[in-house]
Amino acid sequence: MKSETERLAALSETVRASTLQRFRCVAPGDEAWRPAPDTLSFVDVVRHLCDADEWLFGMLQGGRHRRPVIVPGEASAGEWEALLANLVETGKRRTNLLRSLSPTQLDRPILDPEVCGPTDWWWLITRANFDHEIHHRGAVQLALRLRYGREIQPRR
């Protein structure tokens, strides 16, 4: 039977792989495309998810960090490849961090005043990071459909 940390690590890998699969469907030149003027572009979302991972790392290391907020247009298409590489790397770091946690650490209390309130590490990881990424992945999937209007295939 897998430990809870192994199960969380496996979920982390699955969530990130699914997210990356969608970003790899963005056609060259469309990285900064957005469905409407005040919405996030593809590159904005990639940057935001990288920032969200860094926030999680800081929280789990005992810091009290403000949740990352990104303004539409804050990221540029020129950052696309570097940000995608960073998203891959932070995904690996997240998975490795989760594998290193003990059951006692998962139950450790933590205060996230902006999202979860008084909670524990397990809920912070699943609710404030995984669920957050899945939410943005859904928006990316919708944006892909709006942009391309068909089934899309990842870039090779």
Q: What is the pLDDT of residues 90-110, one digit of tens each?
A: 999 999 999 999 989 999 888
CATH topology of domain 4-148: Four Helix Bundle (Hemerythrin (Met), subunit A) (1.20.120)
pLDDT at position 41 over 90: yes
Residue of 17, 15, 2, 13 lying closest to 95 (CA atoms): 13
Count Cα atoms within 13 angstroms, Cβ side, for 1: 2
* Domain definitions of the chain by residue range: 4-148
Q: What's the whole-number mean pLDDT along residues 61-68?
A: 75
Q: What's the whole-number mean pLDDT along residues 50-78?
A: 87
Residue of 5, 43, 13, 16 lying closest to 143 (CA atoms): 43
CA dihedral sign of residues 59, 64, 67, 68: negative
Residue 126: C-alpha distances to residues 38, 57, 76, 116, 141 (Å): 28, 13, 29, 11, 21
Q: Residue 152's pLDDT is what?
A: 64
Q: Residue 151's pLDDT is what?
A: 63
pLDDT at position 126 over 90: yes
Residue appearing with tokens 């859904």 = 138
